[in-house]
Structure 1
Amino acid sequence: MNTLVIVLVAAVLLVAAYVLYGRWLANKWGIDPKAKTPARKFEDGQDYVPTDGWTVFSHQFSSIAGAGPVTGAIQAAVFGWVPVLLWVLIGGVFFGAVTDFGALYASVKNDGKSMGLLIEKYIGKLGRKLFLLFCWLFTLLVIAAFADMVAGTFNAYVVADGVASLSDAARTNGAAGTISLLFIGFAMIFGLIQKKMNFHGWKETVTGLICTVAALAIGMMLPIIAGKDTWTYLTFVYIFFAAVLPMWLLKQPRDAMTTYMFIGMIAGAALGLLVAHPSMNLPAFTGFHNDALGDMFPILFVTVACGAVSGFHSLVSSGTSSKTVANEKDMLKVGYGAMVLESLLAVLALCVAGAAAAADGTPAAGTPFQIFSSGVAGFFEMFGVPVYVAQCFMTMCVSALALVTLCVFMKVTGRSNKMLFPPLIIMLLVTGTALAERTIGLVKAIAAGSATFLVEGLQLIIAILLIILGLTIVINSLRAYFASRKNSEKA
């Protein structure tokens, strides 16, 4: 099938979903353009900063998009491109975008409270503690994995027989690292210009593009040649400053510049498909089982999280975006719009991978995002936690809790919550089935004597603990939902 047709159909469906279903949700829940948002109520120049709607959109999109929707769609294509496409479109429109928009909406209506505090209010302190514990542990893993991966990418040296020497890609790697450093520096300059000169509209866009191009040009001309250790230290320095600097100084301008690059990447991929309109060489459907990954249910839905539905998006919606929305009317494009654009990115990634595959359907190898995937998976496996289990844990803990919290919020404020139950039930089934299958497989392997206690035994213990944690979350959440009184918080 022609990849251009796939992209065009997906784009039309996603735009229609935004215009029809997204606006229906906004009308159903209620948007008040005259309401005073948390950004205006608690403006402090740090976290609560009234910001132009498109700038907040840029922050939301660049924070949720990236390697996730690309790697997930490509990895899951072993089941065929049709199941991946259907899940991205259905999941993105009815699950992911609803969750992201709902988390943003609930946070804005609750003085900008983050998801942890919303969970405490509507589910209870136990739910909040479990949520924060998981987020803290997973964040440590992600930071360590990303720091190691980034430093390895920018490293200019190779070691052979104990001797370090410049690699063939030293200049390229150094240029990529230098561009990243300059990107941060120019983002801060961009932020200062926006703050002091109050640029909006075309002035803001032109300034951001100039800063983006400048970082790319200077970085390519003057690359920094350094080893992995140096880049590791620089990465952690950046992480520290990104965590403590005001939103307007680094994160918002950085995300705006990142969005320009994402749009360029999307436009480039779309243009390539438009000009070349290559065929989709990946098979449409390969079956319900894959020897490497397992059964399509639940693996497909676990693998394609970003691009379809990811509970971690709620951390962005409620953690930062809700504190910068200046007008409630911007919530639709920020919460719902950013997610459907991410779904389009996943579709593009699937089509590009399909075009790059061999005529016999053999997938292409050696892409940067595949290197990213193996790096993260390898890091998890160092701790005895297979990436499969980590993905289940991530989806379960954040998506069970975020969706149930939104259900309770909608109930007590007298708003419709029926649209939240399908994603809630399906995500519970997906993650529950994944953990059950993994546990049964480990038990069989140990019983057959084909496993070791140090590896599979540790994984079995972790899987059982995750099941107990999952049941605790479900029971605690259901109890909180049925105990809540309808309309008890209705204004």
Structure 2
Amino acid sequence: MVTFFASIVLLIAGYVFYSKFVERVFVINDETSTPAYTKRDNLDYVPMSWWKGNLIQLLNIAGLGPIYGAVAGALYGPSAFIWIVAGTIFAGGVHDYFSGMLSMRHGGAQYPTLVGKYLGKTVKSMINGLSLVLMMLVAAAFTAGPAQLIAQITPLSFTVALILIFSYFLLATILPINRVIGKIYPVLGGILLFMAVAIGVALIFSENPIPNLTLQNLHPGELPIWPLLMVTISCGAISGFHSTQSPIIARTMKKESDGRRIFYGAMVTEGVIALIWAAAGMTFFNGTAGLQEALAAGGPSGVVNEISTTLLGTLGGILAILGVIILPITTGDTALRSSRMILTELMSKFFNMENKTKIILITIPVAIPTFFLATIDYTFLWRYVGWTNQVVASVMLWTGAIYLLRHNRFHWICGIPAMFMTGVVCTYIFYAPEGLGLDYHLSVGIGLALSFIVLIWYITQIIKYRSLHQNEKALKLA
């Protein structure tokens, strides 16, 4: 239990201290007008208070990830706590802050546009397609999950639940952000936080003690921690999906100093939620072997249902299950909204996209395949979400690193986690069943070799920009 409390304290300390350091490196200026005012259109560009932005961002990024992913990651034992804490503070918080603030600095630009500006057109072209695929997979997975749960606890069938959820998705995608999202999400955010706190308090007073830190891999299937844990627990540590969501809120910020509370703050809150559910998974079933049996019997939704109703009773269980339904739905709708915004940015070169009819039409190409993907088994979808998600995260961190290099600032805050995540995704794709399924040691060797090539590229960028800055300094002195 000591490890659990220490982890929460470290996450809070990370927000209080490290987020301020990241903000100083980025350099904010509250005298600069934000896109919410300079480009106001009362659809996506609408000024909102920071606390609304924080709760909306939390609901946008949370989904099933910090619950289902954390429960699955709990199979590895208390080592999951280390990844959640370190990942949130040094990778996820930095990733989310830069994705939001760079978007705001570039007029509310979408993630692929930012990538193109700092990493080139070739990478942008790849990321445009990968981002749309990721968001369709996320929206589908975050539709299938709650639909399955609704079918379990109500008389509605899975198909009817799916249609109802998707109808809401389409409505939230095309309406102004302050109509539905801006009014409902802050309330839902309160429910989410209450649910997490309730589960956490119940765990403290439960019969089984929360396990303390051990570096031993406790996975019953003996799956390796590296790189599987870093992909299994993405939301709650670092998730590339967040970089596709941050521009939604970047377009509503009133001032630049709100960014730390909105983006880094929401990431730390999500880290706490993931920590609580990872602890619940390890504790409630009396070890990782019991958790694996429960996951095999009822899947992640069954595990969450059993934990919630047992620990919190009937009323608390209803609130918890409601939260598990709300979380993914409030991520699925903004996933489609982001898809619509990216397509709008792409198509704006050829068409005027201000017309409401065109906004609806641009949503259809992503809505239809997403609906059909939602009928596929959730666990199958989630396997493919994982790798694409972390590739997107790695590219966003490299985007932040190059931005800092260009501005002669402390680029290591993005470069080091970017290098780490590059190693994760390079190894994962060769080892994972949904990848090439190669031998583990061979996969690690190939992953490290590819990471070394990326490291060489990074060093050349450092040398290039250092030389440019030295020349600029010499010209000024002359």
Report TM bin, short chain.
0.7 to 0.9
Q: Which amino acid aligns with 1:320?
A: I
1:433 to partner: Cα distance = 1.2
Q: Which amino acid aligns with 2:268?
A: V
Task: Give the structure 2 partner of residue 91 of structure 1.
Answer: 87
- Asked whether 1:402 is paired with 2:332, we answer no
Go from structure 1 to structure 2 and tell me whether the alpha carbon gap of 1:150 and 1:277 turns closer, same or farther (over 3 Å shift). Answer: closer
Query: Do the aligned residues in 2 keep the contact of 1:119 with 1:128 (CA within 8 Å)?
Result: yes
Q: Which amino acid aligns with 1:302?
A: V
Q: Which amino acid aligns with 1:326?
A: K
1:235 equivalent among 156, 162, 165: 165
Task: Give the structure 2 partner of residue 369 of structure 1.
Answer: 300
Task: Give the structure 2 partner of residue 391 of structure 1.
Answer: 386
Q: After superposing the two structures, state which structure 1 stretch, 262-271 or 51-60, moved more.
A: 262-271
Q: Which amino acid aligns with 1:64?
A: I
1:303 equivalent among 197, 208, 232: 232
SS at match of 1:328: coil
Write the mapping of 1:289-438 to structure 2, written as runs, cut at 5 A.
290=219, 292=221, 294-317=223-246, 319-358=247-286, 362-363=290-291, 365=294, 369-371=300-302, 388=383, 390-396=385-391, 398-438=392-432
1:387 to partner: Cα distance = 5.1
- 1:32-60 Cα offsets, whole Å, 9 max, x none, are 22221111211111111111010000111
Go from structure 1 to structure 2 and tell me whether the alpha carbon gap of 1:265 and 1:443 turns closer, same or farther (over 3 Å shift). Answer: closer
CA–CA distance in 1 between the matches of 2:158 and 2:268? 37
Q: Which amino acid aligns with 2:104?
A: V
Go from structure 1 to structure 2 and tell me whether the alpha carbon gap of 1:125 and 1:470 turns closer, same or farther (over 3 Å shift). Answer: farther
Question: 5+ residue gaps in structure 2?
Answer: 305-327, 329-369, 441-446, 474-478
Q: After superposing the two structures, state which structure 1 stretch, 65-74 or 53-62, moved more.
A: 65-74
Write the mapping of 1:432-447 to structure 2, written as runs, cut at 5 A.
432-438=426-432, 442=437
Task: Give the structure 1 partner of residue 352 of structure 2.
Answer: none
| Consecutive aligned runs of 4 or more in structure 1 exceeding 6 Å deviation | 378-386, 469-484, 487-490
SS at match of 2:31: coil
Write the mapping of 1:275-290 to structure 2, written as runs, cut at 5 A.
275-276=205-206, 278-280=208-210, 284-287=214-217, 290=219
Query: Do the aligned residues in 1 keep the contact of 2:63 with 2:142 (CA within 8 Å)?
Result: no
Query: Do the aligned residues in 2 keep the contact of 1:124 with 1:480 (CA within 8 Å)?
Result: no
Query: Do the aligned residues in 2 keep the contact of 1:381 with 1:387 (CA within 8 Å)?
Result: no
Task: Give the structure 2 partner of residue 154 of structure 1.
Answer: 150
SS at match of 2:179: helix
SS at match of 1:248: coil
CA–CA distance in 2 between the matches of 1:471 and 1:380? 40
Go from structure 1 to structure 2 and tell me whether the alpha carbon gap of 1:482 and 1:141 turns closer, same or farther (over 3 Å shift). Answer: farther
Calculate the TM-score normalised by the size of structure 1: 0.70
Q: Which amino acid aligns with 2:193?
A: I
Q: Which amino acid aligns with 1:422?
A: I
Q: Which amino acid aligns with 2:18?
A: Y
1:109 to partner: Cα distance = 1.5
1:277 to partner: Cα distance = 7.5
Go from structure 1 to structure 2 and tell me whether the alpha carbon gap of 1:287 and 1:234 turns closer, same or farther (over 3 Å shift). Answer: closer
Aligned residues: 395
1:74 equivalent among 71, 75, 86: 71
Calculate the TM-score normalised by the size of structure 2: 0.72
Q: Which amino acid aligns with 2:97?
A: F
CA–CA distance in 2 between the matches of 1:245 and 1:286? 49
Query: Do the aligned residues in 2 keep the contact of 1:407 with 1:481 (CA within 8 Å)?
Result: no
- Asked whether 1:19 is paired with 2:16, we answer yes
CA–CA distance in 2 between the matches of 1:90 and 1:342? 13
Q: After superposing the two structures, state which structure 1 stretch, 400-409 or 424-433, moved more.
A: 400-409
Which structure's CA Rg is the greater one? 1
Task: Give the structure 2 partner of residue 52 of structure 1.
Answer: 49
- Asked whether 1:246 is paired with 2:169, we answer no
Q: Which amino acid aligns with 1:426?
A: F
SS at match of 1:111: coil
CA–CA distance in 1 between the matches of 2:161 and 2:436? 40
Question: 5+ residue gaps in structure 1?
Answer: 156-168, 174-224, 446-465
Q: Which amino acid aligns with 2:61?
A: I
Give the share of equivalent positions with the same residue, in percent. Answer: 23
1:153 to partner: Cα distance = 2.9
Query: Do the aligned residues in 1 keep the contact of 2:203 with 2:210 (CA within 8 Å)?
Result: no
1:151 to partner: Cα distance = 3.1
Query: Do the aligned residues in 2 keep the contact of 1:149 with 1:372 (CA within 8 Å)?
Result: no
SS at match of 1:249: coil
Q: Which amino acid aligns with 2:250?
A: S
Go from structure 1 to structure 2 and tell me whether the alpha carbon gap of 1:471 and 1:146 turns closer, same or farther (over 3 Å shift). Answer: farther
